[in-house]
Structure 1
Amino acid sequence: MHDDVIDIRLLEAFAAVMSAGSITGAARLLGRSQPVVTRQIQDLETDVGYLLFSRNGPRISPTPKGILFHAEVERLLAGLKHIRQRAAAIGAGALPVLSLAAIPALSAGFVPAALAAMDQKLLPRQIHVQALAAENVAQSVLAQAVDFGLASLPVQYPGLDIHWVCEVPCVACLAADHPLAKRRVIRLKDLGGRRLLTMANPYRLRRRVEDALERAGVMPAEVIDTNSSLTAIALAKQSLGVAIVEPVLSASLAVDGVVTRRLDVAIPFLFAAISPAGRELTPTVAALNDALRAAVALMRGAVLHDGAAAPRELGSDADEFERACS
Structure 2
Amino acid sequence: MDLRQLEAFAAVMSAGSITGAARLLGRSQPALTRLIQDLENSLGFSLLHRSGPRVTTTEQGLRFYQEVEPVLAWLRQLRERADAIAADKPRSLSIASIASFSVGMLPAALRRLGLDNLPDQIHIRTAIAEQVVQDIATQVSEIGITSLPVDHPALEIHWIGEAPCVAAIASDDPLAELDCVPLSALAGRRLITLANPFRWRRRVDLALEANGVTPAAVLDTNTSNAAIMSARAGLGVALIEPIIAYGMPVEGVVIRPLDVKISFFWAIVTPYGRPLAALVSGLIDKFDEIGRETIPGFVRHPAEARQQLVADLARPAYSSDC
The TM-score normalised by the length of structure 1 is 0.93
Q: Which piece of structure 1 moves more, 55-64 or 194-203?
A: 55-64
The 8 Å contact of residues 158 and 312 in structure 1, kept in 2 or not, is answered as no
- The correspondence of residues 41-52 of structure 1 with structure 2, limited to 5 A, is 41-52=36-47
User: Number of residues paired by the alignment?
Assistant: 315
In structure 2, the partner of 1:294 is 289
Aligned-partner Cα distance in 2 for 1:35–1:170: 54
The TM-score normalised by the length of structure 2 is 0.94
CA deviation after TM superposition for structure 1 residue 57, in Å: 2.3
> Residues 260-313 of structure 1, C-alpha deviation per residue, up to 9 Å, x if partnerless?
111010000000000111212111111111111111122111011122333499
Task: Work out which of the residue numbers 82, 104, 107 in structure 2 matches 1:112.
Answer: 107
In structure 1, the partner of 2:313 is 317
In structure 1, the partner of 2:233 is 238
**Residue 39, structure 1, aligned to residue 34, structure 2:** yes
The 8 Å contact of residues 152 and 271 in structure 1, kept in 2 or not, is answered as yes
Task: Work out which of the residue numbers 61, 70, 78 in structure 1 matches 2:56.
Answer: 61
Aligned-partner Cα distance in 2 for 1:99–1:222: 39
In structure 1, the partner of 2:97 is 102
Q: Which amino acid aligns with 1:68?
A: R
Aligned-partner Cα distance in 2 for 1:310–1:101: 20
CA deviation after TM superposition for structure 1 residue 315, in Å: 5.2
Q: CA RMSD in A?
A: 1.6
In structure 2, the partner of 1:145 is 140
Task: Work out which of the residue numbers 8, 14, 20 in structure 2 matches 1:13.
Answer: 8
Specify the SS of the correspondent of 2:83.
helix
**Residue 212, structure 1, aligned to residue 195, structure 2:** no
In structure 2, the partner of 1:127 is 122
Aligned-partner Cα distance in 2 for 1:97–1:87: 10
In structure 1, the partner of 2:223 is 228
CA deviation after TM superposition for structure 1 residue 58, in Å: 2.0
Q: Which amino acid aligns with 1:31?
A: G
Aligned-partner Cα distance in 1 for 2:109–2:60: 39
Specify the SS of the correspondent of 2:192.
strand
Q: Which amino acid aligns with 2:97?
A: A
Aligned-partner Cα distance in 2 for 1:146–1:135: 14
In structure 1, the partner of 2:264 is 269
Q: Which amino acid aligns with 1:297?
A: R
CA deviation after TM superposition for structure 1 residue 156, in Å: 1.8
Aligned-partner Cα distance in 2 for 1:209–1:88: 47
Q: Which amino acid aligns with 1:293?
A: D
The 8 Å contact of residues 102 and 130 in structure 1, kept in 2 or not, is answered as yes
The 8 Å contact of residues 156 and 270 in structure 2, kept in 1 or not, is answered as yes
**Residue 23, structure 1, aligned to residue 18, structure 2:** yes
CA deviation after TM superposition for structure 1 residue 46, in Å: 1.0
**Residue 255, structure 1, aligned to residue 250, structure 2:** yes
**Residue 304, structure 1, aligned to residue 300, structure 2:** yes
The 8 Å contact of residues 203 and 315 in structure 2, kept in 1 or not, is answered as no
> Residues 74-101 of structure 1, C-alpha deviation per residue, up to 9 Å, x if partnerless?
1111110000001111122211111111
Aligned-partner Cα distance in 2 for 1:154–1:202: 12
Structure 1 residue ranges without an equivalent (≥5): 1-5, 321-326
Aligned-partner Cα distance in 1 for 2:114–2:221: 36
The 8 Å contact of residues 197 and 224 in structure 1, kept in 2 or not, is answered as yes
Q: Which amino acid aligns with 2:225?
A: L
Q: Percent identity?
A: 49
CA deviation after TM superposition for structure 1 residue 157, in Å: 3.6
Aligned-partner Cα distance in 2 for 1:239–1:14: 42
Q: Which piece of structure 1 moves more, 136-145 or 117-126?
A: 117-126
**Residue 195, structure 1, aligned to residue 190, structure 2:** yes
Structure 2 residue ranges without an equivalent (≥5): 317-322
